Amino acid sequence: MKLGVIGAGVVGRAVGGLAVRAGHEVMLSNSRGPETLFSLRYGLGCQVGTAEEAAAFGEVVLIAVPLSAYRSVPVAPLAGKIVIDANNYYPERDGRISALDSGEATTSGLLADHLPVSRIVKAFNAVTMHDLERDGRPTGSDGRRALPLSGDDAPAKAVVAGLYDQFGFDALDAGALNEGWRFERGTPAYCTPFTLSELEAVLAKTRRA
């Protein structure tokens, strides 16, 4: 599979590196240009490019930019594609967003409005990248950690669940895209290790603040 990554910070590097190790082709990009990613090209064994190039390259594209920059994500090359939203809302970084503060919207909902014909899946936002790189275990392992995802497109969710499994984690489908608030920042499931059954119970009991 070809994975495009828009954003080459901690999240983009971690997911991109794991994808390379799992046998996928990866292109990383950032807002400063591919020449600034020279060392990552060789360190991770990936390709590098602009955001537009990464969007065109990927069969699946990970959005790993700060939430405040989501409107900079290219729209046309992502039409019809699976787009993984790894965003979280940090007001101290992103500024106040009233629709999120009031619970009227979710981070994935904002991205979906920006990418109306993409297949958005919320994933990779409820685990630290240190844990993502360290905690993976083979399929069927006792006590294997589970990670949540949400989305409105079942085949797209299955693809992302497959990545979770390849990286060493069980996948828990939390439902429709608008249910992604259940594992956003500040919720009990956020960056806390749970098995599949534990995570399912936690998400079921989570309520909006």
| Residue 9 CB neighbour total at 10 angstroms | 13
CA 73 to chain CA centroid, nearest Å: 14
Enumerate the domain spans of the chain: 2-205
pTM of the model: 0.95
What mean pLDDT value characterizes the chain? 95
**pLDDT tens digits, residue range 104-128?**
899 999 999 999 999 999 999 999 9
By C-alpha distance, which of 105, 26, 39 is closest to 67? 105
What is 2-205's CATH number, 3.40.50.410, 2.60.40.420, 3.40.50.720, 1.10.10.10? Answer: 3.40.50.720
Residue for token pair 């249910």: 179
Task: Please give the full DSSP string across 21-87, using - where no structure is assigned.
Answer: HTT-EEEEE-TT-GGGGHHHIIIII-EEE-HHHHHHH-SEEEE-S-GGGGGGS-SGGGTTSEEEE--
**pLDDT tens digits, residue range 62-106?**
999 999 999 999 999 999 999 999 999 999 999 999 999 988 899
